[in-house]
Structure 1
Amino acid sequence: MTQATSSPDPSTPDLSEGWSEQRSRLRKDLGRLDVLFFLICTLVGLDTIGSVAAQGPQGLTWMAVLALVFFLPYGLLVAELGSAFPVQGGPYVWTRLAFGRLVAGLNQVLYWLSNPVWLGGSLCIIALTTWEEFFTPLPGLWKYAAGLAFIWIGALAVVQSVRVGKWVPTAGAVARIVLLGFFLVSVVVYAIERGVHPLPAGDFNPTYAGFVALVPVLIFNYVGFELPSSAAEEMTNPKRDIPLSILRSGFASLVLYGGPILGILFVLPAKEIGSLAGFIDACKAVFTVYGGHIAADGTVVLTGAGAVLGGIAAAGLIIGLLTSGVTWAMGAHRAQAVACADGAGPAWLGRISERYGTPVRVNLLSSVLASVLLIVALNLTDGNGEKYFAAGLGLAISTTFISYVITFPSLVVLRRKYPATPRPYSVPGGRFGLWTVTALATGLVAFTVVVLIWPGFGVGWFGTAGSAADSLPPSFAGERLQYTLSQVVPLLLFLAVGGLFYAWGTPTRRRARAEAAHDGRDLAHQVTGAPDHRQGTAARGGLR
């Protein structure tokens, strides 16, 4: 185990002394395989499989299209930024170098807060739903207790040192491969014994209404490439490992994500697939081949080996959900700590624990926020899981994607501002490739933010089929204002938090400016031989 004691590349602009003081506490314990598992755990989201399957076969069509026009450009973009600027804090540093500390600080707060929203929102509600479907109901206070346990077990994992904590995404990646692989094998067995629902070719035809409904969850499952860069100075060789891991994990995620969606469509009638429980219901239906039956009303009863395997799969799903939140937190929290140490937030949040080498204070604050969100949301929605899930997932995605709208253009700006910085990997195609990649990635996340805040945007325009009202989440049917407020009000609050954080970082920025001025005076004295003002004053004081 080695410590990172200096900036990884002298050609890369350094941050303020606030972060330099913390850098020595980092430990280089992330190897190539660790980064690969980290990305698989990040990219393969188990919470949105049902949301995509609920849109029918065209979900697979749009998945293929977005793989080409978003996933590929996004991966190329991050591969260059991550290998050219392998500095702890990743997205914050890229944005800071491109647009300055204020913009980067506000942007980073949005990126960071999306994690407790996601953990205390959609991840937590799916974990609770899975538990109730396969094990036992959680009435009254038991639901709150189980949700808080889910959040704080994750918090305990995030605070651990990299040497220990890296096993969480590894376990998550293995759980995904085993769970999704076993599900697909079971679908084949189910198809042989009981047949499957036909998927007419016409159902794969893409529609604009389907695109508007699917683009948020599909792109959300395609993002996360930048997260390992937030821990770049804890990698043994980030310039080599980041681009290579992006390539490998990208292919793996397409297989692990597309296969289960197809399996759900084969097993369940499209009208019976729900956004929240689609994958859970499909698992229960498929596992009846090992023991159990499906009643005439659609109720699934698992018995014998089916019940045992169902319980194991449910545990694997809960582990997969928990590790998703933990892995994203490991990256987002590190970037927020760098921002705070750099003067874009309160300095006390930028401290790295000497014992663990992780930003323990940011981790704990995030868990508190996730806990508050869970309690408030369960009360506001009266325990309505579908409503809670829709609002929480939409907010997590829109918050993350607003930050991407600022971060992605950093690629073009940094090519211009730092042309001499070594780039082990560069986006191919010269200026045309550079602008194409940036425009596609930025444009699609910006469009996604619009359709999240106003579902159905553009539906029914220019002769397109469908009604904008039908694009609202089913749990918010006829409640457009309530849904929009559930997105806009928290976003405004998060921006206010970003402004407050930046104000709290004033002492750090003032101290950094004073130190820079001091270093400048010392350099001028050494070069010119000019008398030092402070030395002269001290001498005169001594004579007196």
Structure 2
Amino acid sequence: MTNNKKDSLPKTLGMRDLVLFTVSAIVLLETLGSAASMGPSAIFFWVFFGITFLVPIALITAEVGTALPEEGGIYVWIRRVFGNRWAARAVWAYWVNTAIWLPSLYVMLNAFVARLFNIELSIGQQITIGLTLCWLTVLLDVIGLKIGKWVPNVGAILKMVLFTILIFGGLQYGMNHELANEFTLEQMKPSWDEGLKYLPVVMYGMLGFELVSGAGGEIRNPQRNIPRAVFLSAFCVLFMYILATAGILVVIPAGEVDIVEGLIDTLTLFLADIPGGETIVMALGLAAIFTFFSNGATWTMGCNRTAGQAGKEGELPSLFGWTHPKHGGPVGAAVAMGIVCSTALLLYGQVAESSADLFWSLMSFSAVIFMLPYIGLALAFLKMRRVETHLKRPFKIPGGQPVAYLLTFITITILTLTAFLFSYVPGEGPQWSVIIGVVVALAIGEVVILISEAEKRIKRARLQQNLDVVAEK
């Protein structure tokens, strides 16, 4: 393995790749099902938080991403203004969230497979499928983006196909059948007490615009393509979520929407009566399964490149900095993530029959950690505006400092509230398994950072010894 210089990385990502990569990362089928279970008020929440959160975070990402289009993305941005240790903390939170979320995604994929084929998978079969997908994801990271990028590209296209069918299928169904839910202003009016419970669901479906910047050194013409890709993908994400949520609610009462079964049930109602309908539903179900996998692959590609850059620079242990000598893939970070994912899947195999709720509670703590790097991103954006006034910004948010302060305040407020609601559910109280998980993960992160700092001191000492030997000669 070798630590390739960022300038030697092939420029494999064009405008199309950036848009499809971002859509693949952000648009989640499981988020769609969770949102639809809110009922017609979900439409309001998508629009409201689309304006108050998605637009600000997209603007911030576009400005910072074009000013500093380097390999490492969010790690590089935070390091520039807050220093090495805070950057290391942010990238650790970024990486460990993905490492813990990935096995939960593949467990959910197993549930989708069982529903689609109307079979019951044993725990052993579920673990085997999960482990296979986990290490296939690692392989895609290792072989580099020239080949690996086609997984998120195809996944994004399949998501667009599925969402288009949900949108137009819902329209057609609504014209010929009684609506399962009323889409009146009264029904879409939010209940904030109930809505706060679902805020984390909506927020989780709006994060990831910065992910592709983790491969900033592999983007063609980033100053031009990053802002265009961010804004186009933001429009696609919001448009798809709003209309596809409505499509599901046209045919299934809100109280009966199942996170896993909602998509299959909706497609069945749309297509069952046409010739070959069952075959089409099966084909679309297989496409949906691929999108689960592509979503995991997309996040690991971006996240491991970010962690890999931190490893190269000594802010995470040197293991994370190992890269493939030919393809430049982040071998060390990817293999480490594969080990964590495999361990979590094996743990699930031990507790699934007796303590499944505990497993999912432990998995959900990653969502709290997920918010932390974005708070760092918003603060880094604001500090760059204040102290780096001469930094070249190919795209700059209009409105000067007042708008910059406003966007930062809104973004951090919503992220903080979301993290709080993951750990304290209204009506249920503190989620102690989540809180303990967050504390343990952050504590492990501090140990990891101390190890990396010790490695740097040892390397400096060895270098100084070598220089002293040369000087004596």
Normalised by the size of structure 2, how large is the TM-score?
0.92
In 2, the alpha carbon distance for the partners of 1:488 and 1:25 equals 42
Matched, 1:357 2:339: no
Matched, 1:131 2:101: no
5+ residue gaps in structure 1?
1-18, 292-304, 457-467, 470-479, 522-532
2:78 to 92, 95, 111: 95
Larger deviation, residues 69-78 vs 186-195: 186-195
Give the deviation of 1:382 after TM superposition.
Answer: 2.2
Q: Provide the residue aligned with 2:143 in structure 1.
A: 160
The structure richer in helix per residue is: 2
Alignment CA distance shift 1:289-1:151 (3 Å): farther
Q: Provide the residue aligned with 1:151 in structure 2.
A: 134
In 2, the alpha carbon distance for the partners of 1:209 and 1:280 equals 30
Q: Provide the residue aligned with 1:306 in structure 2.
A: 277
1:60 to 43, 56, 75: 43
Alignment CA distance shift 1:217-1:271 (3 Å): same
Contact 1:41–1:169 (8 Å) recurs in 2: yes
5+ residue gaps in structure 2?
none
Q: Provide the residue aligned with 1:372 in structure 2.
A: 343
In 2, the alpha carbon distance for the partners of 1:415 and 1:290 equals 57
In 2, the alpha carbon distance for the partners of 1:348 and 1:43 equals 28
Q: Provide the residue aligned with 1:410 in structure 2.
A: 380
Contact 2:23–2:236 (8 Å) recurs in 1: yes
Give the letter aligned to residue 62 of structure 1. Answer: F
Q: Provide the residue aligned with 2:440 in structure 1.
A: 493
In 2, the alpha carbon distance for the partners of 1:149 and 1:342 equals 31
Pairwise mapping of residues 393-404 of structure 1 onto structure 2 (< 5 A)? Answer: 394-404=364-374
The CA deviation string for residues 135-188 of structure 1, in whole angstroms up to 9 with x for no partner, is 132123112212222322322222222110111111011111112212333334
In 2, the alpha carbon distance for the partners of 1:75 and 1:360 equals 30
Give the letter aligned to residue 445 of structure 2. Answer: G
In 2, the alpha carbon distance for the partners of 1:278 and 1:205 equals 23
In 2, the alpha carbon distance for the partners of 1:401 and 1:47 equals 19
Give the deviation of 1:512 after TM superposition.
Answer: 7.6
The CA deviation string for residues 422-471 of structure 1, in whole angstroms up to 9 with x for no partner, is 01011211110110111111111011000110011xxxxxxxxxxx23xx
Contact 1:243–1:425 (8 Å) recurs in 2: yes
The CA deviation string for residues 270-314 of structure 1, in whole angstroms up to 9 with x for no partner, is 2111334333332333332337xxxxxxxxxxxxx2321121111
In 1, the alpha carbon distance for the partners of 2:305 and 2:311 equals 10
In 2, the alpha carbon distance for the partners of 1:140 and 1:378 equals 6
Contact 1:344–1:501 (8 Å) recurs in 2: no
Give the letter aligned to residue 371 of structure 1. Answer: S
Pairwise mapping of residues 1-400 of structure 1 onto structure 2 (< 5 A)? Answer: 22-23=5-6, 25-121=8-104, 123-135=105-117, 136-201=119-184, 202-290=186-274, 305-382=276-353, 392=363, 394-400=364-370
Contact 2:169–2:247 (8 Å) recurs in 1: no
Aligned to 2:323, what secondary structure does the other structure show? coil
Give the deviation of 1:386 after TM superposition.
Answer: 7.5
Alignment CA distance shift 1:126-1:287 (3 Å): farther
Contact 1:115–1:332 (8 Å) recurs in 2: yes
Q: Provide the residue aligned with 1:432 in structure 2.
A: 402
Q: Provide the residue aligned with 2:450 in structure 1.
A: 503
Q: CA RMSD in A?
A: 2.6
Contact 1:189–1:289 (8 Å) recurs in 2: no
Aligned to 2:29, what secondary structure does the other structure show? coil
Larger Rg: 1
Give the deviation of 1:107 after TM superposition.
Answer: 1.6
Contact 1:225–1:246 (8 Å) recurs in 2: yes
Give the deviation of 1:508 after TM superposition.
Answer: 4.8
In 1, the alpha carbon distance for the partners of 2:259 and 2:194 equals 14
Alignment CA distance shift 1:317-1:389 (3 Å): farther
The CA deviation string for residues 492-511 of structure 1, in whole angstroms up to 9 with x for no partner, is 22212211221221255337
Contact 1:172–1:324 (8 Å) recurs in 2: yes
In 2, the alpha carbon distance for the partners of 1:231 and 1:167 equals 15
Normalised by the size of structure 1, how large is the TM-score?
0.81
Contact 2:20–2:153 (8 Å) recurs in 1: yes
Aligned to 1:422, what secondary structure does the other structure show? coil
Contact 2:127–2:346 (8 Å) recurs in 1: yes
Give the letter aligned to residue 344 of structure 1. Answer: E
Q: Which of structures 1 and 2 has the larger relative contact order (alpha carbons within 8 angstroms, sep 6+)?
A: 2
In 2, the alpha carbon distance for the partners of 1:288 and 1:382 equals 34
Alignment CA distance shift 1:128-1:249 (3 Å): same
Larger deviation, residues 495-504 vs 320-329: 495-504
Alignment CA distance shift 1:129-1:284 (3 Å): farther
Give the deviation of 1:487 after TM superposition.
Answer: 1.3
Give the deviation of 1:387 after TM superposition.
Answer: 7.2
Give the letter aligned to residue 442 of structure 1. Answer: I
In 1, the alpha carbon distance for the partners of 2:97 and 2:4 equals 27
Percent pairwise identity: 25
Contact 1:378–1:388 (8 Å) recurs in 2: no
In 1, the alpha carbon distance for the partners of 2:91 and 2:72 equals 10
Contact 1:53–1:273 (8 Å) recurs in 2: yes
Contact 2:73–2:214 (8 Å) recurs in 1: yes
Alignment CA distance shift 1:45-1:387 (3 Å): farther
Give the letter aligned to residue 290 of structure 1. Answer: I
Give the deviation of 1:513 after TM superposition.
Answer: 6.2
Give the letter aligned to residue 347 of structure 2. Answer: V
Aligned to 2:297, what secondary structure does the other structure show? helix
Give the letter aligned to residue 407 of structure 1. Answer: L
Alignment CA distance shift 1:20-1:150 (3 Å): closer
In 2, the alpha carbon distance for the partners of 1:321 and 1:450 equals 27
